[in-house]
Structure 1
C-alpha cells in the first residue's frame, strides 16, 4: 500500500484542492446542491478563493495524500460567533475556545482508507495548539456518511440546525460538536 500522509496545503496544492472539491461535490452532492451551485465550481474564482484560504493567517488547510495522489482536504480555524451561537443568538461560555471544521472532503473513490481520520486528527491538533478545547462542524442532514464519520470520532449533534439556500435548493445542516483531543489508533 502506498504511504498515506497529511500536510499543510501550499498554493501549489490549489488546483488539486479545487479538483477534489469539484469531483467530490459532483459525485456525492449533486442532487443535494443542484446544477447552478455545481457550475460555480468551474469558475476561475474557485482557485482564487482556495489560494486566499491557504494564505489566511487564522486558517489551516490540510491535504491528504496516498502516495503521490492528493485525495482529500480539510479546512479548520477559530469558529466565528455565528457558527457557535445557539438558535437564539446567545453564545456559549467557551465561544472563544471553539474551533471550526469548515470543510472536509475525501474523494469517494479514496474513502474508507483512513484519510478522513488523518485529516480530522491533524486539524484537531492545530486547533488544540491554537487554544481550542472543542470544535464544531456543519453537516448536511442527508449526508449519512459524514454524520457517521463524525460520530465515530466521538462528535455528536448538539441540537442546532441551519438551512442554507443554494439558489435552487435548500440544505438542512446539523451542527456537530466534539473534542479536539483526537488521536489515530495505531
Structure 2
C-alpha cells in the first residue's frame, strides 16, 4: 500500500477538510458525545470556519484565539481528494508553549486503517522536530479507544493529566493528555 501525499493545506482545501472533520466526528464520537451535537454538525459552517483558520495560518496570524501562536495544517490526499488532516504548532495550554502540540488529527472514516493517519502523524512529528521541539503533546477524548491505540502505536503515552473541555457545542468532554519525546 502506498502512503498518501501529505502537503500543506491551502484555502481550496477548506470544504474537504470540513467534510473529513464532520464525518470523522460522527463516526469516532458516536456514543461519546451527545448525539444531538453530532447531528447538528454542519459541513458548510465548518468549511467557513476552516477557511478563516487556514487563511490565518498561511498568513502567520493567530489561528485559535487572538493571543495564540499560529498553528499549521497538513492535509493527506488520496486520488486527489483530501481524506485526512492534522494541525500542530506551539502548545496552546498555559505554561506549555515551549512544547509542541498535535492539536488535531482526523481521517475520513472511509479511509481508516489505510495508512493516512500514519502518514500524517509521521510528518507532523518531523515538522515539530524541525521547528526545534523535543517534546510534544496531544489531547484525546476519553473513551476514543481507536485513537488512543493509534497514538500509543506511534509512541505517544498518557501522562496522567486530564481536563474537561467544550468542543463543537458539546460540554464537559473528558480528555487525557498524551506526550511523546521527539528528539
* TM-score range normalised by the length of the shorter chain: 0.7 to 0.9
Deviation at 1:123, TM superposition (A): 1.4
Tell whether 2:78 aligns with 1:66: yes
Show the counterpart of 1:176: 178
* Contact 1:36/1:168 (8 A) holds in 2: no
Show the counterpart of 1:38: 38
Deviation at 1:168, TM superposition (A): 5.6
Show the counterpart of 2:141: 140
RMSD: 2.1
Structure 2 unmatched ranges of 5 or more? 61-69
* Contact 2:91/2:101 (8 A) holds in 1: yes
Tell whether 2:56 aligns with 1:51: no
Show the counterpart of 1:4: 4
Q: Secondary structure at the match of 1:97?
A: coil
Structure 2 CA distance, aligned partners of 1:43 and 1:68? Answer: 20
TM-score normalised per structure 2:
0.82
TM-score normalised per structure 1:
0.81
Structure 1 unmatched ranges of 5 or more? 83-90, 182-186
Structure 2 CA distance, aligned partners of 1:3 and 1:161? Answer: 33
Q: Secondary structure at the match of 2:32?
A: helix
